[in-house]
Structure 1
């Protein structure tokens, strides 16, 4: 595991994993996701750890999947290909990414996300796999890429967690929403002042860790099954198929052609001009 991606520390029965890509707004690269999986796998069967906390250095929890192209999360780099992806290969890649998230969903111990700033796009998938989310008042959530780049294959679990109407609103408009709205909708458990965030999460994690680790695994599995029995995994597979189709759109191709020619910031500026 690269210390440039993650830092880990254990106190009593709580393992804290800190995202350490502040210069990249903690964007989710391929190596970052591998390191996170390795860190979770290392304590999956370790009874000295009952709870995992995910937090981040810097102003952003994570801005989502890394767009700079040097550590791309899928096997086809859309920058190098000017956005023109092989559909079949892309479909398999996205299904592989979906399996990554389902592995995290099935992690047997509670995971608490501590969100201090932006939590966008792939970051929404990350916190959807967490059991509890505590956010600072400064946190912002949303999927800016919904208009032009695709849908994360888990769709953030939004249709199940917040209902169809709000899910469609957020996807159709790509608007960001506040921690207060996220709490009201049930995406966040608690919202606190930024100055109280560390203390609140520490106390919550310590409280959860008082429950025997084996009992926590049963409680987590029992609640997860409600979503699984409603077709969670099948819905994810279908969303992965649709995401691959989305990647064939003109908007996707044009965005990455712009990145290839003028860089990420120029492409983002063009998107802001078009969509606001």
Structure 2
């Protein structure tokens, strides 16, 4: 395992790798170095470590991430921001092909919410608070917030959050479709881990193709999305995992998927 400063990467367990944001002194503010480490860790999980089938991303018990590192941002003018490597790091995080689950307790704000929305689903503690407060600084979300939030919760609520800077709680986020489940705060990571382990038991090929097809639904017309889904379905017909899945079902036993 590589050594990181701003994140903590645990060895894979039951097919799941836990990555924790680890800047407690700054409420896990997302400085460029942290995003670079996260992008690097996800790249390794995607292409190097075949033991990793699902990645679980978490913060601390009191904060997932309070936003971008404002002190770092304040030191950059327009040219500095244009040269900044943050967009490349966000692109790498966005392109992670395996399932990515976010376990969120406490504040999940600004860039923190944008990061959580890069996950495929969010498990939130009852104490979680979500918001895009960039407007209070005279700026707007810059890592996808204006685009991802409206797709997650709809125009009206996205407008309310982004234009007012107000927060919503976990239950409202659940009702709006921003999060998948709400748990007691002390159980958030446990529940997210259990869900990740359930996913990790499935065929790695099917997981990746399912994620790709679902994400394509946000960017393509229905006809193209259906075509992509069909091609993925046909591709899986050639996999050993499909044969194993069907045989296990007929033999009434748990399948053992290998990713072949």
TM bracket (short chain): 0.7 to 0.9
> CA contact under 8 A between 1:21 and 1:57: conserved in structure 2?
no
Establish whether residue 21 from structure 1 lines up as the match of residue 23 from structure 2: yes
**What residue ranges of structure 2 are gaps of 5+ in the alignment?**
222-260
Say whether the 8 Å CA contact 2:8–2:21 is kept in structure 1. Answer: yes
The answer on 1:113 being equivalent to 2:102 is: yes
Do the aligned partners of residues 92 and 23 (structure 1) sit closer, same or farther apart at CA in structure 2, a change above 3 Å counting?
closer
Which of 56, 76, 85 is the matching residue for 2:59?
A: 56
Q: How many residues are paired up? A: 216
CA distance in 1, matches of 2:170, 2:38: 24
- Matches for 1:94-109 after TM superposition, within 5 Å: 97-109=86-98
* Paired residues of 2:108 and 2:129 also in contact (CA < 8 A): yes
Helix, strand or coil: the match of 1:37?
helix
TM-score, with structure 2 as normaliser: 0.77
Q: What RMSD, in angstroms, separates the aligned Cα atoms of the two structures?
A: 1.9
**Offset at residue 113 of structure 1 (A):** 0.3
Counterpart contact for 2:38–2:93, Cα < 8 Å: no
What is the TM-score when the length of structure 1 is the normalising length? 0.73
Segments of 5+ residues of structure 1 without an aligned counterpart are 73-77, 231-276
The secondary structure found in structure 1 opposite 2:218 is helix
Return the offset for 1:4.
3.2
Distance 1:223 1:169, change over 3 A: same
- Is the 1:2–1:35 contact (alpha carbons within 8 Å) kept by the matching residues of 2? no
Partner of 2:70, secondary structure, is coil
Q: Which has the higher contact order (CA 8 A, sep 6+)?
A: 1
Establish whether residue 188 from structure 1 lines up as the match of residue 179 from structure 2: yes
Distance of 2:33 and 2:89 partners within structure 1: 13
